[in-house]
Structure 1
Amino acid sequence: MSMVKESVDIDVPVGSVYNQWTQFEEFPRFMEGVEEVRQIDDRHCHWRTKVAGAEREFDTEIVDQLPDERISWRSVSGDVEQKGVVTFQRLDDAHTRVSLAMDFEPQGVAEKAGDALGVLDRRVKGDLKRFKGFIEERGQESRGWRGRIAPTDADAAPSTSTGSGPLGSASPDDLRHS
C-alpha cells in the first residue's frame, strides 16, 4: 500500500469546516476525478470516479466520526482498496487545519506509475486547496451532520506499516481504525 498525507489551513472556524466536509455528496464540486458521491446511510457512501478515462465505482464505510475532530473510512466493495482519516484542528476561533492521511493500493501499471510519480499526492493537495476555496468563499457550511460514529472491535486492524509521525493531528496510527 502507498500513503498520501496532505494538509491545508483554512480561514473558517472548525465547526463550519467540519460540517461542510460531512456533506459528501458535494465532493464532486472540489475533488478532481470524483463524478458522484451518494450517501447511502450514516456510515456508507457509493462513489463513482473517472480518472484518466478509467471509471470506477466503489463503496466506503465510515468507521470513526467525531464531530470537529476526525472522520476515518475504508473501502468495502469495488476494485478500490483504500483507508484513511481526515482530521480537523482548531488553530484559533477563525482558522482550521484540515489534514488527510490515506493508504491506497494502486491497481494496474498506469496507477502504479502515477503513484511513483506522485500524481495522487498532487491531486489530494489540489483537492484540499479547492475545498479551502470552496468553504472560504461561502464563509460557512451549506449543511452539516454532527452525529458520532464510533469504531467497533471488528473495525480494529493492525497499524499501517508506512511509518509514523504527526500530520497535523492525523498520523498513520490513526488509520488502525479505518
Structure 2
Amino acid sequence: MSTITKSVDVEAPVADVYNQWTQFAEFPRFMEGVDRIDQLDDTHTRWTVSIGGVTREFDATITEQHPDERVAWKSDSGPDHAGVVTVHRLEERRTRVTVQMDIDPEGFVENVADKLGILDRRVQGDLDRFKTFLENRDGTETGAWRGDVPRPGQP
C-alpha cells in the first residue's frame, strides 16, 4: 500500500473550491485517466478510469463529507484505495486543497506506475489542473452539493 499526499493553493474562496470538488461528473475535465464518474446517490459513485492503456471500472463510497472542510472515500471494488480531500481557508480568496490517498495498485501496470512515482505525479498534476480549471472560471464553481455525511458510527 502506498500513501500519496499532495496539495495546491487555489485563488478562490473555500466554499467555491469545496463546491467544485463535489461535482464528481466534472472530474474528467481535470483528472488525467478519469474517463467518467456517475453519481449513483449521495454517497455512491461509479468510476471509469484508464492507466497505461488499461481501462478499469470501480465503485466508491463517500464515507465522510462536511461542507467547506472535507470529502473522504473508499473503494468498494477494483483497485483498493481510500482517501480524503480537505480544503483549508488561507485567505478570503485563497484556499489550500490537500489530497491524502492510500492505494494498493492492482496489476503489473499500476504497480510499475506506483514504483516509478507516476501515481504521485498524476495526483499533483490533477490538483494543478483543478486549480487552473476553477481559476479560469473566475473562481466560480460549476455546481455544488452541500450535504453532510457523518463518519461511520457517528450520529
- Look up the equivalent residue of 2:7 and give its one-letter code: S
CA displacement, residues 88-143 of structure 1 (integer Å, 9 cap, x when unaligned)? 00001000000000001011222212211100000000000000000001121111
What's the TM-score, normalizing by structure 2?
0.96
CA displacement, residues 59-79 of structure 1 (integer Å, 9 cap, x when unaligned)? 0000100100000000012x2
Q: Where does the alignment leave 5 or more consecutive residues of structure 1 unmatched?
A: 155-178
Mapped partners of 1:50, 1:87: distance in 2: 25
Partner of 1:61: 61
Matches within 5 A, 1:1-178: 1-77=1-77, 79-138=78-137, 139-153=139-153
Mapped partners of 2:58, 2:14: distance in 1: 29
How much has 1:45 moved relative to structure 2?
0.4
SS at match of 2:41: coil
Mapped partners of 2:135, 2:109: distance in 1: 35
SS at match of 2:20: helix
- Look up the equivalent residue of 2:55 and give its one-letter code: E
Mapped partners of 2:130, 2:32: distance in 1: 11
Q: Where does the alignment leave 5 or more consecutive residues of structure 2 unmatched?
A: none
Say how many residue pairs are matched: 153
Mapped partners of 1:113, 1:93: distance in 2: 41
What's the TM-score, normalizing by structure 1?
0.84
Identity %: 52
SS at match of 2:31: coil
SS at match of 2:71: strand
Mapped partners of 2:125, 2:9: distance in 1: 13
Mapped partners of 2:142, 2:26: distance in 1: 10
Mapped partners of 2:113, 2:151: distance in 1: 32
- Look up the equivalent residue of 2:23 and give its one-letter code: Q
